[in-house]
Structure 1
């Protein structure tokens, strides 16, 4: 084996699943930052012309960089890309890209629902599913989200937007053979860097040696930022509430608080949550102010660590800083010898920092998913225990229902969602509740998958139209279904076929009509009705029937006819006669006489006067 592959004693040592000294590192370019996926590009050489990439892709590799008599600077990641470059003299050149295990979450997309969990809990769940090693260094308590949807987005984008919205950021800590994801939300979660807690500023021409860790360029930068944030939202349960959340920065430069960032909706349902989101936005907006940019040889610096600058000629600059971003560059130009670099510096780094007393927040850059248009879904009960019900609405009385979306693989139920009606007012309007099993049309307010609303219902192969089609294309109307049990129905139907026009109303049990003033009914031809009994009560006023032409006939086939009047009763005929008849007996009244006819006539009275 060539001496080139004996890594012991070298500045950079590469460990891979292939085994020790199978590959030797010749160059490294690494970039890393707070709330950023690191990328480590390495170039290696080895004697094997046919390295099996299947043994490397998706596996951990570690680079140990030893410089300046400091603790080893470790870079660990999984192999995401592998490339064979070709031969170089008697060796073969390979290039690899190492990324964090978190990067794997960019390779998977999902559609799913989370109920009643905080953003931190959701992030932890997603990371746990992928066996991502994490350390939770957050300090704040986060509100529970009633309903949160991951919709056609990668796991990485999903958790990134949740963290950005809530002011959570992350960084990585590297070890030999592993790396760890650290979640943070406050300055107190950061620690001084081991072997790099202090760093000196020096002139690049001062002849730095490999034993000195120093920065030889340093610049400070200020940026004008938006100084005010206002968010608003709407909560239908309290439609009159003012869900406004405002916050303002403390900078004192000109116009620092003149310009405002205003957004709606703010994605919250109470003012305290709104203030959390507004603060996170303002802190993210102002985080890139007061940045420092440096270069030098300080390989132990890493994002999330704290380091104190010393010996800078501007005294105010000598203080503690949070490392925000780093790029590391290493080249072993003398890789054919076991010695050093003949005085040349093998490492160079560029660094971005901010004063440690300022809050860091990641910018809100991850796009939210949008639902482009309506979807259909199946109405379900609130939980499996209520699946036997036919109708299920929210316990608050808002007429809300739950659905199961066709894209849901986990058999989850949606949040309680409102149902659009034809009309809605305080105690009046339309009320049609979609029933379990129906297919409904769901829209999303501003395309937000977290804000669904039912806007209609559609028929399908299992739920057919109430009137057979196409035979009854001219029929329209409403037909309900008795619950529970089915079979019965109430109906209001229109038949619009020419010469057969009809309105049909069907009441499965009772029909109640209340008319506060007048009712006018006009029948062009005939009126017929039936039923077991009829009862009419007029509480006041009168009862008058006018028949302008034709005859009136009352027939009682079985039973009696009784008329009871508290006062007098008058029967008047403007024609020739009034006849009262039963059997062979009759009384006929004419304008000139009264005729009584019977087989026998009996008169009974205390006194009878005959003139």
Structure 2
């Protein structure tokens, strides 16, 4: 009969939600590194053939190692459990622990953050998922981000790439009940390793190796790294601004000024570009001057500070930031008696960076890329039909956004654009627009067109009007009218139609020429039409055909400030039903009515080149009559009366 599995008084123990000693530790392998997810693999034994892991997966488990006068705890979320089969009268299992931050790799989202700092965004992501086991040890201030999109990426990737871009990194602080994610950005964010502020170097043959934590192997590493980072970007609000940012390293080796250049740098403010360039350079150069060690120092953890002592190379005895650690624990057999330190085997390997060199996580998390255009809905202020700012930008709501957040102000690609000239069409609220993204970046949308949909139908019935093209607008507010320019391209019925809902204003600064093939039909309707030529001539030429002007109701008034000439090669006919008056100045006129005609002038002269004939039953001559030439009178001549 096998002995009961009991962990009491053992140096390394495993604690799970399954209950005390349900699983006991046999072997532990753990890796942890700055700005990386730790992973702890545990081999364990159990008296139970079929352990119910539903009570443990997704919950905190911990391993405690008691050695060198202290206790080191490794805490994590149980994410994997394997049954390995029988072993030494028991049953063998393998467990994998990872941080709660890893759980965010199991979630994806599409959402928009506006006017928040990078830390505010990160903390909101954590809290939205129900996690509050984090601590903010950052020391720098961070600018507000106007618009930031998480697009089809895990919460882990989204948070990681923001941290990398802004120079924030993280590590974990472990306790028996939980592990705390700690965000940092400078040396002052860190503290000395508890109980191990000084780390002794003890050679393998050292007599006191079992008495204190130490390292016995030490390597100093140098690497050639890029020595300059230069970034560039463009701000359409300040198109002439030179948004060029760079950062230079201080390494003294040959070709240390090799440059990394990139565009776009993901910024529109100079100080933000300078920050990004500096962060990228520090991340690159943090790969140089690393230290690697092997030993027995389980207290070491990423994010802690320790000072090396007793190394034979004096220049190495300085303070270091712990970047990474690998831990291996192999316990004594459960068939043996009581546990002793000699029965316990711990090995570790560690990575350090000199404390005077800044650490930044490498920018390895990929940014999301929008593959091709997508559509969105135009939104805006309640009660408005058009919501546009002074730059001609609109707001849209993406169909992937479950929270129905509006976008930032988005520019619209027009058919032509210049300095206060070009073409402009403003999409209106509830229209569906086509959106593309500059460099595939979801943070930089651009409206490139509009499309019809089930609610917004085409303006002409199709396919019956398939030859009709043009523009038809909508009166705003109220939808009670429209302006239209339409082209009918049907063979034999070609037509251009213009509809003005109210006024049509045409301005011709020089000349207007029209050529009409068959007939001209003047415009009709109410109210009036007014045409003004401020300077120049107005010429109408009909090469063949008639001109007819009909005023169905109303009068025609022609006012000429200088001269009028009328010439007809054949005949001129003028008819008035009531009266016809021609006047020259205030004293001379010819007046006609259906019953009479009178000529009035200071002097009237009648000259016939051959003959003048006056015929009437009665002719009255009043005043002095001068007759030159032959006068023939037929009929009675009345008395000439003096005036």
Q: Aligning the two structures, in what range does the TM-score lie when normalised by the shorter sequence? A: over 0.9
CA contact (8 A) 1:580 1:586 kept: no
Aligned to 2:11: 11
- CA distance in 2 between partners of 1:77 and 1:487 (Å): 66
Residues 44/561 of structure 1: CA separation in 2 closer, same or farther (3 Å cut): closer
- Aligned equivalents of 1:379, 1:226: Cα separation in 2: 45
Structure 1 contact 53–82 (Cα < 8 Å) conserved: yes
Q: CA deviation at 1:357?
A: 1.3
Match of 1:351 in 2: 350
Instruction: Report if aligned partners of 2:431, 2:456 keep a CA contact under 8 Å in 1.
Output: yes
Is 1:56 aligned to 2:56, yes or no?
yes
Correspondence for 2:203 = 203
Aligned to 1:571: 566
Distance 1:580 1:563 in 2: 15
RMSD: 2.1
User: How far off is 1:15 after superposition?
Assistant: 1.2
Q: Hey, what's the Cα distance between the residues in 2 that align with 1:313 and 1:236?
A: 59
Q: Secondary structure at the match of 2:162?
A: helix
Match of 1:582 in 2: 576
Q: 1:211 to 1:552 in 2, by over 3 A?
A: same
Structure 2 CA distance, aligned partners of 1:454 and 1:3?
73
Q: 1:566 to 1:254 in 2, by over 3 A?
A: closer
Question: Residues 433-486 of structure 1: CA distance to partner in whole angstroms, max 9, x if unpaired?
Answer: 011111111001111111110001111111111111011111111100000000
C-alpha deviation, 1:11, in angstroms: 0.7
Output one character per residue of 1:513-555: Cα deviation in whole Å (capped at 9) or x when no partner: 1111111100000111223333333334444444444433433
Aligned positions of 1:60-75 closer than 5 A: 60-69=60-69, 71-75=70-74
Deviation at 1:196, TM superposition (A): 1.4
Q: Between 334-343 and 351-360, report the one with greater CA deviation.
A: 334-343
Which residue of structure 1 lines up, in the alignment, with residue 84 of structure 2? 85
Q: 1:459 to 1:566 in 2, by over 3 A?
A: closer
1-structure distance, mates of 2:597, 2:326: 130
Evaluate the alpha carbon distance shift between residue 479 and residue 296 of structure 1 in structure 2; reply closer, same or farther with a 3 A threshold.
same
Q: Distance in 2 between matches of 1:246 and 1:597?
A: 96
Quick one: structure 1 residues 203 and 527, their matched pair in 2 at CA, closer, same or farther if it must change by over 3 Å? same
Q: Aligned residue for 1:483?
A: 476
Q: 1:570 to 1:129 in 2, by over 3 A?
A: closer
Aligned CA distance change for structure 1 residues 105 and 546 (closer, same or farther; 3 Å): closer
Q: CA deviation at 1:209?
A: 4.7
Choose which of 515, 525, 535 in structure 2 pairs with 1:531: 525
How far apart are the structure 2 equivalents of 1:238 and 1:221? 45
Q: Secondary structure at the match of 1:293?
A: strand
Aligned to 1:503: 496
Report the CA distance between 1:402 and its aligned residue: 1.0
* Structure 2 CA distance for partners of 1:581 and 1:358, relative to 1, 3 Å: closer
In the alignment, the residues of structure 2 paired with residue 93 and residue 263 of structure 1 have an alpha-carbon distance, to the nearest angstrom, of 52
Contact 1:227 1:248 in 2 (8 A): yes
* Alignment gaps of 5+ in structure 1: 589-593
Judge conservation of contact 1:4–1:336 (CA < 8 Å) in 2: no
The answer on 1:429 being equivalent to 2:422 is: yes
Matches of 1:551 and 1:497, distance apart in 2: 29
Match in the other structure for 2:216: 216
Distance 1:583-1:143 versus aligned 2 partners, 3 A rule: closer
1:4/1:338 contact within 8 Å kept: no
SS of aligned partner of 1:40:
strand
CA contact (8 A) 2:149 2:443 kept: yes
Displacement over 6 Å in runs of 4+:
584-588
Residues 297 and 540 of structure 1, relative CA distance in 2, 3 Å threshold:
closer
Q: Which residue of 2 aligns with 1:102?
A: 101
Q: 1:587 to 1:103 in 2, by over 3 A?
A: closer
Say if 2:413 is the partner of 1:420.
yes
Residue of structure 2 equivalent to 1:519: 512
**Structure 1-normalised TM-score?**
0.93
- Match status 1:235 vs 2:235: yes
Deviates more, 1:529-538 or 1:141-150: 529-538
Q: In the aligned structure 1, how far is the partner of 2:286 from the partner of 2:596?
A: 118
How big is the shift at 1:308?
A: 1.2
Unpaired segments ≥5 residues, structure 2:
583-589, 607-626, 628-643
**SS in structure 2 opposite 1:307?**
strand
Superposed, 1:168-207 pairs within 5 Å as: 168-207=168-207
Cα distance change on mapping 1:547 and 1:59 into 2, 3 Å = closer
Contact 1:580 1:587 (C-alpha < 8 Å) held by counterparts: no
SS of 1:157 mapped into structure 2:
helix
Q: 1:341 to 1:598 in 2, by over 3 A?
A: closer
Equivalent positions of 1:126-145 (< 5 A) are 126-130=125-129, 131-145=131-145
Deviation of residue 562 (structure 1)?
Answer: 3.2
Q: With the length of structure 2 as denominator, give the TM-score of the two structures.
A: 0.89
Larger Rg: 2
Could you tell me how far apart the structure 2 residues matched to 1:17 and 1:598 are? Answer: 121
Per the alignment, do residues 143 and 2 of structure 1 end up closer, same or farther by CA in structure 2, a change over 3 Å counting?
A: farther
Q: Distance in 1 between matches of 2:341 and 2:309?
A: 29
Q: What is the Cα deviation at residue 406 of structure 1?
A: 0.8
Distance, in Å, in 2 between the alignment partners of 1:22 and 1:557 is 107
How far 1:426 sits from its partner (Å)? 0.3
Distance 1:446 1:334 in 2: 59
Matches within 5 A, 1:41-52: 41-52=41-52
